[in-house]
A = this chain, B = another copy of it.
Amino acid sequence: MVATFTVSYGVRHVRRHVFDIEETTLAEMVGGREVFVVADERVWQEYGTNIERYARGHLRLSGSARVSGQEHDKTLERVGDLCAAAFDHGLSRDGVFVGVGGGVTLDMAGFAAAIYRRGVRYLRIPTTLVGLIDVSVGIKQGINFHGKKSALGAFYPPMGSINDATFVSTLSRRHLSCGFAEILKVALVCDAALFELLEAAGRELYDSHLSSPVAAAEEVLFRAEAAMMRELEGNLFENDRRRLVDFGHTFSPLIEVASEYTIPHGEAVALDMLVSTALGAERGLCGWGVFGRLVECCRSFDLPMRYPLLLPTLLERALDDAKAHRGGDMNLVVPDGIGSGTFAQDVTGAELRAALRVVDAAAGR
């Protein structure tokens, strides 16, 4: 049996608020189909009235559900609850799950869409910085399970994403900081100009919730999204297990689990990048200057450089897990300069301990 098919989706950018009654992008994309909205509590509190008014004006709303948006609720049970709610509202097989929220919410809504009636359409509206530049580009939906981060899930392409940067203005500083961690990730291993832009304007962008300098804000969002797209395109289903965008994502899952998801994803990614870059410098894959510049960036975005659970045994376990997930190779991503990266194999416990000492020293300065 042979069948060929095409995955096609894109990111639409809106200038007005996506739920502004004059803004018809969402209505056009769902095209008269029934809609089931999954939004996180924070978003609902802030935009629920707008969403309801928009739905009355533009959508065939089947129903809606709210989720905490917290990592510890990203479970099979809670995704089941979303599906049960959609059945209770009678959402048909031609309906659309619309996820509105941060990465956690979008993962849950996307996985629910992937399994509801064996898969229905899914549309994403990210409301965090991570969502805008990272989640909105990919096709991975995942939930935490059995003590593992994103252990279950699906590669399930959405209809598309609607990116509305106005959401950034109401983000907490901590959410914003986590978004910058993901931007740093793609900048350091894929886009030198973006990294330099973050060095030059990052702090001001952070302090102003990306409202100033205006040109830099637009460029950062554009470059981060474009770099992610370049990296994912051609390897959407991860047949190639060497992925530069895994930078910062080798140790971080276990840090998150060990913290019982009290440390936000972006902060764990920052810690991971610091350790990985120190390791790279130890190996001579990149200069110590690269590590130093990353440290300064983390500092400017208030990203943590220390964490009590950042221990050699945990990191060793993370490398074992990575091997099981990356075709038997560690494929630890390390920068080999600003804007490019490579893959390290066979990292030893001694190397990990040395890297941790360096990170610790840098944090202590």
Cα separation A10 to B2 with both chains bound (whole Å): 8
Chain A 305-326 interface mask (CB, 8 Å, partner B; 1/0): 0000000000000000001111
A119 at the interface (CB under 8 A from B): yes
A229 cross-chain contacts in B, Cβ below 8 A: 1
Please encode chain A, from 47 to 77, with 1 for each CB lying within 8 Å of some chain B CB and 0 for all others: 0000000000000000000000000000010
Residue A328 at the chain B interface, CB threshold 8 Å: yes
- Chain-B contact segment, one of A12-20, A109-117, A210-218: A109-117
Main secondary structure of the interface of A (DSSP, over half): mixed
Among A168-176, A195-203, A231-239, A277-285, the stretch that binds chain B is: A231-239
Interface bin, chain A? 35 or more
Number of copies: 2
Q: Which residues of B contact A343 (CB under 8 A)?
A: none
Q: What is the bound-complex CA distance between A154 and B154, given in angstroms?
A: 9
Q: Say yes or no for A90: interface residue by CB 8 A criterion.
A: yes
- How far does the alpha carbon of A303 sit from the alpha carbon of B336 in the complex, in Å? 69
Residue among B84, B237, B325 making CB contact with A117, cutoff 8 Å: B325
Contact A324 B92 (CB under 8 A): yes
Q: Are A146 and B3 in contact (CB under 8 A)?
A: no
By beta carbon, the residue of chain B nearest A79 is B76
**Seed contacts A2-B7, A83-B152; 9 additional CB < 8 Å A-B pairs:** A1-B10, A1-B157, A1-B232, A1-B236, A5-B7, A92-B328, A117-B153, A117-B325, A118-B152
Which residues of chain A have a CB within 8 Å of any CB of chain B? 1-10, 76, 80, 83-84, 87, 90, 92-94, 114-119, 137, 140-142, 145-146, 148, 150-155, 157, 229, 232-234, 236-237, 323-328
